[in-house]
C-alpha cells in the first residue's frame, strides 16, 4: 500500500504502522461508523401534528 494510506489528516505519516505493514504485509484498521456531527449525514426527526 502507498504511504498515503498511513497519513493522517494533518499530513503526518504513521511510521510505526507503515513499518509494521512493510514487515508483515498486514494492515489493521478501525473507524467509527457513526456520522460525524455536522457532516451532512445527520438524521433529524420531524414531528408532525395529526
Element counts in the chain: helices (H) and strands (E): 1, 0
Let me know: does 41 contact 33? Beta carbons within 8 Å. Answer: no
Task: Report the pLDDT value the prediction gives residue 12, as an integer from 0 to 100.
Answer: 95
pTM of this prediction exceeds 0.75? no
pLDDT tens for each residue of 2-48 = 999 999 889 999 999 999 999 999 988 777 676 666 666 555 556 66
User: What residue segments make up the domains of the chain, in order of their start?
Assistant: 1-25
Task: Report the pLDDT value the prediction gives residue 4, as an integer from 0 to 100.
Answer: 93
What gap in Å lies between CA 40 and CA 26, rounded to an integer? 33
Dihedral angle, C-alpha 29, 34, 35, 37, nearest 10 °: -110
Amino acid at each position: 500500500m502507498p504511504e498515503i494510506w498511513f497519513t493522517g489528516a494533518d499530513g503526518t505519516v504513521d511510521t510505526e504502522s507503515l513499518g509494521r505493514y512493510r514487515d508483515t504485509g498486514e494492515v489493521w484498521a478501525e473507524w467509527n461508523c457513526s456520522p460525524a456531527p455536522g457532516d451532512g449525514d445527520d438524521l433529524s426527526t420531524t414531528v408532525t401534528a395529526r
